[in-house]
Amino acid sequence: MEENKDNIDPMPETPPKKHNRFVQYFINLGARIKGWFVDKYTAIKDFFVGLFKKKPQEELVPEGPQLSRGEKFRRGLKSQSGWLFVAPALILMAIFTFYPIIAAFINSFKQGYSGMTGRFDGWGFDNFVRVLKGDTGTGGADFVQCLVNTLVLTFISVPLSTLLALLISVALNSIKKVQKAYQTVLFLPYLTNALAMGAVFATFFKIIGTANNTETVGIVNIVLGWFGISPVDWVGLTSPHWQIGSLSIPWAKYIVAIIYEVWSGLPFKILILFSAMQSINKQYYDAAKVDGASRWTILWHITAPMIMPQISYLLVTGIMGGMKQYSAIVGLFGVTMGQDYDMGTMVGYLYNYIELGQTGYAFAGSLMLFIIIMIITWINNKVTKKRTTYR
């Protein structure tokens, strides 16, 4: 083996100088350090050069990390240009939506607050207490009265009109001839001016005085007269009412308001329920008929569960709308909402106190309206979640 090795390397001219082991070690170390430095140096040099040298065009990738700062900023700005589009809406909402929410929460706790001058006496629950007690000292509407009115009207008229709408939709769904004509007429009250039609309804119930020796007691009283019922003053000053403490229950006016609200609420409810019934798959009905189900059974066990989501939707939106009713009451009973605000609603309460210049009470009232609506929304959500599992 040794000979062979010598043969391969025939000319071992100037063999590397044999150093001391320690010296050799240091020489190697030096070479390694130099190599390391050279590597690093070129890397660092490349880095700095790259930083200041303009890159060739083809290396510019759109969202690469090596964009110039200006370019990056420009691109960033451009990608945020959506803000420019939403800016008008945002500014308007800031002034007329976001600020009022905050202001309502803050200002309702200012005692004796005057909106115009911004003066107030101190912080506390004074406004709320006075509003609830009816101790506002301005002769305006009474909050408890308004709350009771709103709740009574809403929770009677909404279920009633939903039930009636259900009956009409079932009837409408069962006929084949002139369905379209009935539909059109029934939908007519759909789009009306609540205030104007309220005024029309008031004439149905109105007893008019004896000018020129003529008088009318109104259509409703005439019809009731056929059944031997003596005329009732439905909307006037002598309208009958029950008194419970300071609370007045003007039942005659309630009836008028409920009739009007049922009439004006029906078309929308019929539209929703009828179109829901039309979209039920006909196979269910055929299957039920084959199994010998009666009409009532079909209605109760097929139609009703299938349109349950729509019914609960109508109840929710109806109650929400009912809590905010106002225009219809003005149309029926005039700007003062009956006699001494005995037909006032919660929204009517707010406007009453704005017009009286008592913005502190108006703020407190609006906050309470908000809380009541939130509670009802919460209850609605709880109930409808259970109900809508039919689908």
Partner 1 sequence: MPNIFKKKNASEAVVGKWDLSAGDEGFDSEKAQKQEKIKHIVKEVFVYVFLTLCAVLAFLPFYWMIISSLKTEMEFRESVPTFFPHTFQWKNYWMIFHQVTTTTGTSASFGQILVNTLVVGLLSTLLGLVVIIITAYALARMEFKGKNLLFAIMLATMMIPGELFTVSNYITVAKLHMNNSYTVLILPFLVSVYYIYLLRNNFMQIPNSLYQAAKVDGLSDMGYLIKVMIPLTAPTLISITLLRFIGTWNSYIWPRLVNTQSWQMITNWVTGGFVDRVQPDGFSLYGGDYGTTSLDTLKMAAVCMVSLPLLVLFIFCRKYIMRGVSKSGTKG
Residues 388, 186: Cα–Cα separation, whole Å? 28
Burial of 147 (0-12, 13-18, 19+ CB in 10 A): buried
Residue 154: HSE in the Cβ half-sphere, 13 Å Cα cutoff: 23
With CB under 8 A as the contact rule, the residue among 140, 236, 267, 344 that binds partner 1 is 267
The distance of closest approach from Cβ of residue 243 to partner 1 in the complex, given in angstroms and rounded to an integer, is 29
Applying CB under 8 A, does 199 fall inside the site for partner 1? yes
Helix (H, G, I), strand (E, B), or coil: what is residue 110? strand
The pair of three-digit structure tokens given for residue 183, joined into one six-digit string = 């539909």
55: left (phi over 0), alpha (psi -120 to 50) or beta: beta
Count of residues interacting with partner 1 (CB under 8 A): 96
Q: Is 232 in the site for partner 1 (CB under 8 A)?
A: no
> Would you call 248 helix, strand, or coil by DSSP?
strand
| Contacts (CB under 8 A) with partner 1, residues 25-54 | none
List 67, 132, 156, 271, residue binding partner 1 (CB under 8 A)? 271
- 237 counts as binding partner 1 under rule CB under 8 A: no
Q: Does 214 bind partner 1 (CB under 8 A)?
A: yes
Helices 219-226, 194-205: inter-axial angle, 10-degree rounding: 40
Structural contact between residues 390 and 308, judged by C-beta atoms closer than 8 angstroms:
yes
Q: Residue 314 is encoded by which pair of tokens?
A: 């109508």
Q: What is the amino acid identity at position 328? A: A
Asked if 124 contacts 111 with a C-beta cutoff of 8 angstroms, the reply is: yes
163 binds partner 1 (CB under 8 A): no
- Of 101, 107, 106, 96, nearest to 353 by C-alpha is 107
Q: Which stretch binds partner 1 (CB under 8 A): 10-18, 65-73, 169-177, 243-251?
A: 169-177
Q: Is 378 in the site for partner 1 (CB under 8 A)?
A: no
Among 24, 193, 238, 279, binds partner 1 (CB under 8 A): 193
Q: Minimal distance in Å, beta carbon 386 to partner 1? A: 21
Among 268, 274, 333, 341, interactor with partner 1 by CB under 8 A? 268
User: Considering the rule CB under 8 A, would residue 336 count as an interface residue with partner 1?
Assistant: no
Site for partner 1 in 63-92 (CB under 8 A): 79-83, 85-86, 88-90, 92
Q: Which of 27, 129, 208, 287 binds partner 1 (CB under 8 A)?
A: 208
| Shortest CB 97 distance to partner 1, Å | 5
Shortest distance, position 314 Cβ to partner 1, whole Å: 8
Nearer to partner 1 by Cβ, of 95 and 229: the residue is 95
Q: Is 222 in the site for partner 1 (CB under 8 A)?
A: yes
- Contact 110/120 with Cβ under 8 angstroms? yes
Going by C-alpha positions, the residue among 352, 370, 375 that lies closest to residue 134 is 352
CA nearest 179: which of 168, 192, 164?
Answer: 168
Cβ pair 205, 235 in contact under 8 A: yes
Please name every residue paired with 141 in a beta bridge, in sequence order, or none if there are none: none
What is the rounded distance in angstroms from the CA atom of residue 161 to the CA atom of residue 265? 7
Q: Would you count residue 328 as binding partner 1 (CB under 8 A)?
A: no
When asked if residue 234 is in the footprint of partner 1 (CB under 8 A), the reply is no
Tell whether residue 185 is a contact of partner 1 (CB under 8 A): yes
| Cα 347 to Cα 314: distance, rounded to the nearest angstrom | 21
> By C-beta, is 288 or 304 nearer to partner 1?
288
Contact 353, 361 (CB under 8 A): yes
In whole angstroms, the minimum distance from the beta carbon of 294 to partner 1 comes to 7
Q: From the list 158, 252, 315, 350, which residue makes contact with partner 1 (rule: CB under 8 A)?
A: 350
Identified binder of partner 1 from the candidate list 146, 153, 166, 217, rule CB under 8 A: 217
Smallest separation, CB 304 to partner 1 (Å): 18
Q: How far is the CB of 224 from partner 1 (least distance, A)?
A: 14
Write out the binding residues for partner 1, residues 288-307 only, by CB under 8 A. 289-292, 294
Comparison of 125 and 190: residue with beta carbon closer to partner 1: 190
Q: Assess 115 for contact with partner 1 (CB under 8 A).
A: yes
Q: What is the largest CA-CA distance in the chain?
A: 153
CA angle at 92 for the pair 87 and 93, rounded to the nearest 5°: 95
131, 146, 168, 256: residue in contact with partner 1 (rule CB under 8 A): 168
